Amino acid sequence: MNSLIQRAYNFNAGPSALPLEVLEKAQQELIDFRGTGMSVMELSHRSAAYEEVHNHAITLLKELLSIPDEYEVLFLQGGGSLQFSMVPMNFLKPGEQAGYIMTGSWSEKAFAEAKLFGDPYHVFSNKESQYRRIPQFEELQYNPTDAYIHLTSNNTIYGTQWSDFPNTGEVPLIADMSSDILSQPFDVSKFALIYAGAQKNLGPSGVTVAIIRKDMIEKGNANIPTMLKYSTHSKNNSLYNTPPTFGIYMLGEVLNWIKELGGINTLGERNKQKAKLIYDVIDQSNGFYVGHAEPESRSLMNITFRVNDEELEKKFLSEAKLEGFVGVNGHRSVGGCRASTYNSVPYETCKAFSEFMIHFQNTNR
């Protein structure tokens, strides 16, 4: 890559940073993909060259997450937001109940869609305290006859994250992992379905990954549009129609990068170290910076905080932008500051931001 190019300190909440090594490889292969004389964007999705890309990405994801054989990996479109509808459309019948664990805005959006198809209810909600924490397992009250339980594993707006997941027994557990999939080790077998938009931790926007247990596919509602059935995509290896081929290629290259880095265990430790750089500044600032999430619920992916004076906060965000830090404004619905430290954000970027925070505090006491 041109050495004159200055890469931004990218804390965008999504689409987010991608590994430089992946971008450079994509640049090299952009015009002639592995001797085909075509870009990967020009390949037929029925060609052997593309099929190899497609299947390699599936195989790598299964390997990195130790996905059991009774699960399938699907590549879908429409982002996590379409899954808010697709989940109840497939698995929630009129008159049936499904439990939703409410930990932020994305849980609210998923719940609103479920109301169109059945009778969802709140297993837990702490909206009144501005979603500052993840519930304890004993706080989760649900029915053994529920069609499923739904949770959001990481909350980008409020900066909270599940560090472990409940065992819901015979009730299928479904998770939106759009903003923290592959950020730390977890047990896939606790879930009946995991879905995740790729644009935060897996690759560019346009691809949605679904990891679904085969018995759930069989339970899906048959009387819905073809493209909205998980079974359609399962039967066709996610090739029923033209998939986002370039996005899947990039996803595969990000997974290659994760494997070469040492896999999910290495990545999880790296993410802890990155987040600690910034949380330590907040905790040691004597109230100059105020974190939103309660410490035991803090996200490794989205660090949310305020500067203790409104005018100073505006100055902080303005100076951060001048110093090359991109995307550190909090979500428009809550304001404040947010550093999104997704998998591909380098340690050096987080270190530079922590040093900027310390400098800003020292010069604005």
Token code pair at residue 109 = 């959006």
Q: Which residue, among 345, 179, 203, has the nearest Cα to 267 in the 3D structure? A: 345
Token code pair at residue 80 = 């996590």
SS3 of 18-79: the string is CCHHHHHHHHHHCCCCCCCCCCHHHCCCCCHHHHHHHHHHHHHHHHHHCCCCCEEEEEECCH
Token code pair at residue 82 = 């379409």
Check 106, 162, 180, 229 and give the catalytic one.
Answer: 106
Q: Which residue, among 273, 330, 277, has the nearest Cα to 13 in the 3D structure? A: 330
Check 176, 180, 229, 257 and give the catalytic one.
Answer: 176
The total number of residues written for the chain in this structure? 365
Q: Which residue, among 111, 188, 189, 152, has the nearest Cα to 302 in the 3D structure? A: 152
Q: Please indicate whether residue 200 is annotated as part of the active site.
A: yes
Locate tokens 């073809």: which residue? 226
Token code pair at residue 132 = 């500052």
Taking the alpha carbons at both ends of the chain, their separation in whole angstroms is: 41
Locate tokens 């896939």: which residue? 188
How many CA atoms are closer than 13 Å to the CA of 113, on its beta-carbon side? 18
Contacts 24+ apart (CB under 8 A), 43-48: 43/245, 45/239, 45/242, 45/243, 45/245, 46/239
What is d(CA 351, CA 347) in angstroms, rounded to the nearest whole number?
6
- SS3 category, 340: strand
Check 146, 162, 180, 200 and give the catalytic one.
Answer: 200
Query: What are the backbone angles phi and psi of residue 125, rounded to the nearest 5°?
Result: -155, 135
Q: Which residue, among 97, 95, 144, has the nearest Cα to 121 in the 3D structure? A: 97
DSSP-assigned beta bridge partners for residue 290: 306
Residues classed as catalytic? 106, 176, 200
